[in-house]
Amino acid sequence: MNQRAPPLAAPPNTSRWSTLLVDDAPLVPLVALSGSLLLLSAWLLVSPDRIVSKTMTWDLLFNLAGAWHLYNGQIAHVDFHDPLGSLYFGLTDVGFWLRGPAVSAIFVGQLIITATLFVAATVTCARRLPLLPAIVFVLFTCQLVLMPINVGDLADDFTFAMTYNSYGWAAICVLALILFMPPRRLADFVWIDLSITSALLVALYYIKITYFAVAIAELVVAFLACRHIRARWAIWGLAGALILANAFAPYNWAYLADVLAAVESGAVRTNTYALLLMLSANVTELSLYAALLLVAVSLWLSGRAPPRLPLAVGALIVGGLAVLSQNAQLRGMPLGIVVAFLLYDHFRRQSVVRARRDSMWILLALLVLPVAAAANETLSVAAYYRRATSASPFFVVDRTNLRGLAVPYEPEPLQQFISSRTGADYSWLDRTRSIGASLRLSQFAYVQTILEAAALFDEVEGRPGGIVLLDQVNPLPFALGRPPPRGVSLWLDTGLPWQPAGPMFADADYVLIPKFPTYSEVTDEAVARYGAYLTQHFPGRLETRSWTLLSRRTKP
């Protein structure tokens, strides 16, 4: 039997606002208004003929490198290793099949996630929120995926690095609304909520397991505290059991092995000092969330709110902090913004029933934070379009599969960049630390070195075999359109597991050692670990301005 909440009636003198702020959102206007704005944002993002990267370009290439392994028929966590889930790379792999091997393939993944979340968010909001907050929520979650910056960065700090975090934050925000905000009709359309929740949980598992773990914890809290979940405890419990069964199924053991190896290598951040720095960087935002938590607790203690409200608010804040503590980001906790929507729903129900004349101002005040977040995301997309189509000096790659990648141009040639900063010997065997150890490699210099490495293989006799690059990322197989080697780690880092030398180089005919790495400690560690093996199995050696090229043949 359906459990129906009391009908909403607008308070006196506020009928002109009721459609926007009180009445349940009609689906068609919600889809039309939010969808048109998102289509505009998507066009602003993908219409320029270049992809601008101002920072962490190597992380953008990391996505492309992983997708390139899949495109060449390899299996994630079996033929190559990384603790991230395969869906992150699989989305870009779809882009390769649709657009060919190109940097712009990353847009395909963003658009797929955006479209998926748009459907999930609009269906969810239409049964939970009035029109204005529903539009804000849909724009907030979907533009979180589209924005060309890392979560918490400046609006013009353009990069397509770590987009998996944007995907994870957005998906877990939609999940939180389903789990902690009851729909107007508790029993109707429960299968829709269940289907969306299950799909998003599975997607989070194959994107980044941190978000999946927090989402499962939120599901448990909702199961205990929220009546609309408990009312159908059997089907929700069965869905949760099936999702966990999938997570630990034998076909995921290789994935779990990569995750466990990363945990054992120290990938989980537990350093107290680092966590305190993270808290201090977010002190203003966290203070606001703490204030909202106190409001929720006070409403419960005064008998004006069910215990579900403070429990849900607390779970969102703790869950957001748990995710943030494990991310390579210093600021920004989108999950906390959902707290404002939970309080909005509570005050909407209470103030309308009691016919408070000032209720509209309370509801509008609660929308300030979500509107500001959505506006910042919109600004980043608009700023990206302006920069990507402006006459600003860019270096735009015009060869290899990196065509269309644009980085800020530096007037000094790379040779001047190198000679002005070091006079050290280029021999990697004769140094104990990278000669680039004290340098901060610019995006322009990095791209120049990658193109130099690509050009190097134009001079190699015969067809190049597998190429391993001892830096954080190996974009050369993708850039050259060559099959990537098997057995490698996608991302080399001192805090991640290192593959044994045998599997790491078994499929390689060439090894590239950068003289100006993106992270010198990684190259130093790689040389220390693999130096003896490389000397024995890769006797050929060629020195260039930025690279040492080793080959299995005596002469490269």
Q: pLDDT (tens digit, 9 = 90+) per residue, 137-181? A: 999 999 999 999 988 888 888 989 899 999 999 999 999 999 999
Burial class (CB in 10 A: 0-12, 13-18, 19+), 382: middle
CA-to-CA dists, residue 313 to 91, 320, 349, 454, angstroms: 32, 11, 17, 52
Residue type (1 letter), 164: Y
Residue with tokens 């210099």: 445
Q: Report the share of the chain in percent with pLDDT over 70.
A: 88
Domain ranges of the chain: 15-269+379-387, 412-551
- Of the candidates 352, 355, 454, 322, which has an alpha carbon nearest to the alpha carbon of residue 398? 454
Whether pLDDT at 453 is above 90: yes
According to DSSP, the residues that pair with 549 across neighbouring strands are: 512, 542
What value does the mean pLDDT of the chain take? 87
pLDDT score at 12: 44
CB 57 within 8 A of CB 37: no
pLDDT tens per residue, range 77-103: 999 999 999 999 999 999 999 999 999
Whether pLDDT at 200 is above 80? yes
**Partner residues linked to 185 by β-bridges:** 4
Give CA–CA dist 348/364, Å, rounded.
11
More confident residue, 28 or 187: 28
Closest CA to 519 of 350, 366, 328, 237: 328
Mean pLDDT, range 63-68, rounded to an integer: 96
Specify whether the CB–CB gap between 514 and 476 falls below 8 A: no
Query: What's the pLDDT band for 6 if we cut at 50, 70, 90?
Result: very low
User: Could you say which DSSP state residue 181 is in?
Assistant: S
Higher pLDDT, 464 or 327: 327
Among 89-93, 418-422, 521-525, top mean pLDDT goes to 89-93
Q: Which of 175-179, 180-184, 244-248, 267-271 comes out lowest in average pLDDT?
A: 267-271
Whether the predicted pLDDT of 354 surpasses 60: no
Minimum mean pLDDT range among 298-312, 350-364, 372-386: 350-364
| Euclidean distance between CA atoms 252 and 261, whole angstroms | 14
What's the rounded mean pLDDT across residues 482-487? 94
pLDDT at 463 over 80: no
Taking a C-beta distance cutoff of 8 angstroms, is the pair 178, 215 a contact?
A: no
C-beta of residue 82 within 8 angstroms of C-beta of residue 489: yes
Question: In the structure, what pLDDT confidence band is assigned to residue 383 with cuts at 50, 70 and 90?
Answer: very high
- Give the pLDDT of residue 266: 81
- Strands 488-489 and 51-52, by their bridges, are unpaired
Residue 155 confidence (pLDDT): 86
Question: Out of 35-39, 102-106, 240-244, 271-275, which region has the weakest mean confidence (pLDDT)?
Answer: 271-275
- CA distance linking residue 202 with residue 85, whole number of Å: 11
By CB atoms closer than 10 A (0-12, 13-18, 19+), residue 209 is buried
pLDDT score at 506: 92
Q: What is the DSSP string of 346-375?
A: HHHHHHHHTT-TTHHHHHHHHTHHHHHHHH
Residue 541 Cα distances to 28, 72, 82, 505, angstroms: 65, 28, 29, 16
Backbone angles phi, psi at 350, to 5 degrees: -70, -45
Residue 331 · residue 320 · CB < 8 Å: no
Other CB atoms within a 10 A radius of the CB of residue 495 amount to 11
Average pLDDT over residues 58-65: 95
Please check whether residue 143 is in contact with residue 149, taking contact to mean a CB–CB distance below 8 angstroms: no
Of 38, 10, 3, residue with least CA distance to 24: 10
The pLDDT score that the predictor gives to residue 549 is 92
Give the per-residue pLDDT at 279.
Answer: 81
> Higher pLDDT residue, 555 or 245?
245
Which is higher by pLDDT, 413 or 359?
359
- Residue position matching structure tokens 């004769």: 430
| Residue entry with tokens 């990938």 | 267
> Where do we find the tokens 């021999």?
427
Return the higher-pLDDT residue of 524 and 358: 524
pLDDT band of 465, cuts 50, 70, 90: confident
Taking 60 as the threshold, does the pLDDT of residue 488 lie above it? yes
Predicted local distance difference test score (pLDDT) of residue 5: 46
CA distance 177 to 447: 42
Residue 441: pLDDT band with limits 50, 70, 90 = confident
Does 408 have pLDDT greater than 50?
A: yes
